[in-house]
Amino acid sequence: MNINWYPGHMKKTKDLLKSQLKLVDIVIELLDARIPLSSKNPSIDEIIGNKPKLIVLNKIDLAHDGETRRWENYYKSQGFNAIPVNTMTGAGVREIMNEAQNITQEKMDNLKKKGIINRPIRLMIVGIPNVGKSSIINRLAGKKSAKTGDRPGVTKGKQWIRLRGNMELLDTPGILWPKFEDEEVALNLAFTGAIKDEIMDTETLAYRLVQRLYNKYETNFVERYNIDRNIEDPLEVMNAIAINRGCILSKKEIDYDRVSNLILDEFRAGKLGKITLESPINEGE
């Protein structure tokens, strides 16, 4: 798998993030509930240091409910609150705001004692591409969102967005990019669309997805594509799906490009059901 990595770019990103951390009270680390480990930037804990942090598990509408609960318990055992969120319905958004207030309560009380009244709680959201940061921001801001302008010390172009509940968010789009330390991480990010399909051909990607999912989520495939439950080989599963969905070329050959895109698109859209690719038990919970 050919994945480029640019150390110079990462250093610049780290330096930018560290400089902006001084301006915020709390960092919200946004993870994909289907791949909480793979969607975590491996440098984020080092970068934010002792800054208060709140973990948000986004896209729970696409993730397996039982696995999401296990991830909540896992993070709780690690000393973090992890809030599951569905930006489609807004579920969990109020909990983000409540928890941010709880975590920063002592600091805000100290500011009041110094005569600083009604100073907004300042947040920063970090997360990899396609993890739903914009949707979270829109939910937090509500319909009356408004940029509050540059503040001293803020890199030019970075804006504060006014949120509900006397909060402000430092908007830093695209500030983080995942480091691919192993193939499994890269595959998980590719499966969920966090990185472009061009890192590997879609046929191979779809095959690897079927290979990964079919044993655990066989019923999902059977019900979605009306295929024989007794099929075991991933390629034969793809062939059966192609036949049932009409992904056929001339001379009755399988159109692997079309069926591969079909499988990937339907998995990413949740049409295969609620599926989680990583379990905390694999990390020695």
Task: Establish whether 48 is an annotated binding residue.
Answer: no
Give the distance from CA 246 to its chain's centroid.
Answer: 33
Task: Establish whether 58 is an annotated binding residue.
Answer: yes
* Cα(179)–Cα(43) distance, integer angstroms: 8
Task: Establish whether 271 is an annotated binding residue.
Answer: no
* Cα(145)–Cα(205) distance, integer angstroms: 39
CB proximity list for 270: less than 8 A, separation 6 or greater: 61, 62
The SS3 assignment for 237 reads: helix
Task: Establish whether 257 is an annotated binding residue.
Answer: no
Task: Establish whether 132 is an annotated binding residue.
Answer: yes
Q: Which two tokens stand for residue 46?
A: 């080092």
Task: Establish whether 39 is an annotated binding residue.
Answer: no
Task: Establish whether 61 is an annotated binding residue.
Answer: yes
The SS3 assignment for 123 reads: strand
Q: Which two tokens stand for residue 155?
A: 């890199």
Task: Establish whether 11 is an annotated binding residue.
Answer: no
Task: Establish whether 174 is an annotated binding residue.
Answer: yes
Task: Establish whether 131 is an annotated binding residue.
Answer: yes
Task: Establish whether 93 is an annotated binding residue.
Answer: no
Q: Listing from the earlier edge strand, what are the strands of the sheet with 26-32?
A: 82-84, 53-58, 26-32, 121-126, 167-171, 159-163, 146-149
β-partners of residue 237 are: none
The SS3 assignment for 166 reads: coil
Binding residues for GTP, by number, are 58-61, 130-135, 174
Q: Which residues are annotated as a binding site?
A: 58-61, 130-135, 174
